[in-house]
Structure 1
């Protein structure tokens, strides 16, 4: 239940998309979509023993499914025309990084990290029936968005070429997540690893700094940052000093950065100044409280050695 609540909040409210008065509706209507996807992805990763590499790859696949096939915002240049973001729609490359990247961070990975940190449980949660039930919920949630021609796809429909591109990327990502290498337990090695708080601070600084990079310069910088982050975390996570606190600090930094950005992001819906300020403050307080609580809960936790990133 915690993941079914956290995922829609993180996906649509943590960055200021909706005021606090909308939170119950977000959980009610988007819980099956975002929460269902997060539960399914976590179950797939924990059942396979693949750990965080599998979660990240499947989260990226979900991002393409959601933005490419369900609401189709990835290919629709006019997707934001009926929102407060009208006139500020980025190009395709920026949309791909923004939309899919935010789904990876906010819709899937940050909520999974928070729930696992508080409950300290890396085992699968559901049996086959429970898994099937969540799968049905997710499909119904996706169908609800796809069928909503006004608030979902907003009158847009993919071309065959666009559909083919999206499906190809999804297949590649899911296929990569299924590779046996993620299930091999690496032998912890020696070497320096930044303190979790230093690691989190660096990640937060990078997230905030990326706000300044726009256009094609921003695309190049973001791709370079993503590649560098994957390489560094792959190296550090194979070392004995890497701990669950690093995972918590890294994903928490992204969540807090999104919450800080709420002050500069107009809401999807018209909102009074007072409610907007209250919502911006509330989202920062909630994000920081969740991050701090998760970090404290993970202190001293010794996780069984598994795949990289653990």
Structure 2
């Protein structure tokens, strides 16, 4: 059981960050967490396992997280193509792009939310909690097929359940196009260059600097991403800046897992703040929702504190 704890933690932390901390699911609907974990947690575990077993890095995790986003929101619940998916927002009509069959706003939001917060951030947080096992696989001969089965069960539950509720099915051309995009992202994730040692001529910034930059950029991204073309262009500019800065820093000498945790911490704090403004899709709003946000935000801060302590001990000079 001790060896399985990191996998179990990621299985439940992925939906906790992706749904509860964001505010998409209220406190009184927390019973849905095990169901959401089938897809969120199963996907995060399979992505992490495939990347760690092949010696790939965080950029591969981000690309596979983007592929996961298209699986969930494009093929299963089809939010990217259904204008009546939610009473709170319409991801399709605003900033509509005929070639894509969906809105640029909805697509950008979906890719960022899932690739960064649903997949990459939970993986980084759990790995920071077990630094001695951060680079090794967590699933053995029994665990891997079990997680595959749970993830497939999650796809059936979400896909069939959403269809029964919405009675919507996207056109074949949109589903085929989404499937091809998913395959392309997966291929790119495993063709990207493996991470190497940092360049001696450039020194990585302090982890605190990386964390503050992450908080500032992710908060700015969420603030400017609005359902109009101006918001999409501004958010894309911030995302491009974040990627360029991440590439520059991650190739510098001295970049280590403390910096990765700092980036994840900044993104986590942004989500904790956004959660106080997000109307829930599942559960009720009002006082119970506010209490839930306070509890989830406090839990996130506590988790970050523990992870930071463990990382500082792991990299403390001897």
> TM-score, normalised on structure 1?
0.89
Backbone CA RMSD of aligned residues: 2.1
1:244–1:301: 8 Å Cα contact kept in structure 2? Answer: no
Among 80, 97, 106, which residue is 2:108 paired with?
Answer: 97
* C-alpha deviation, 1:192, in angstroms: 3.6
CA offsets 1:133-185 (integer angstroms, 9 cap, x no match): 21111011111111114676x22211122112211211111011111622x53
2:27–2:283: 8 Å Cα contact kept in structure 1? Answer: no
Q: Name 2:172's counterpart in structure 1.
A: 160
| Structure 2: 5+ residue stretches without partners | 1-7, 96-102
Among 274, 289, 293, which residue is 2:287 paired with?
Answer: 274
Q: Per the alignment, in what secondary structure is the counterpart of residue 252 of structure 2?
A: coil
**Are positions 1:200 and 2:249 aligned together?**
no
Q: Per the alignment, in what secondary structure is the counterpart of residue 299 of structure 1?
A: helix
Q: Per the alignment, in what secondary structure is the counterpart of residue 250 of structure 1?
A: helix
| Mapped partners of 1:74, 1:29: distance in 2 | 22
Among 26, 43, 46, which residue is 1:19 paired with?
Answer: 26
| Mapped partners of 2:137, 2:306: distance in 1 | 23
CA 1:259–1:233 in structure 2 vs 1: closer, same or farther (change >3 Å)?
same
* C-alpha deviation, 1:19, in angstroms: 2.1
Q: Name 2:314's counterpart in structure 1.
A: 301
* C-alpha deviation, 1:9, in angstroms: 0.8
* C-alpha deviation, 1:269, in angstroms: 3.7
Among 158, 176, 181, which residue is 2:188 paired with?
Answer: 176
CA 1:164–1:216 in structure 2 vs 1: closer, same or farther (change >3 Å)?
same
Aligned residues: 297
CA 1:49–1:87 in structure 2 vs 1: closer, same or farther (change >3 Å)?
closer
| Structure 1: 5+ residue stretches without partners | 303-310
Among 29, 34, 37, which residue is 1:28 paired with?
Answer: 34
> TM-score, normalised on structure 2?
0.87
| Mapped partners of 2:122, 2:225: distance in 1 | 26
Among 175, 196, 207, which residue is 1:185 paired with?
Answer: 196
Among 246, 261, 271, which residue is 1:258 paired with?
Answer: 271
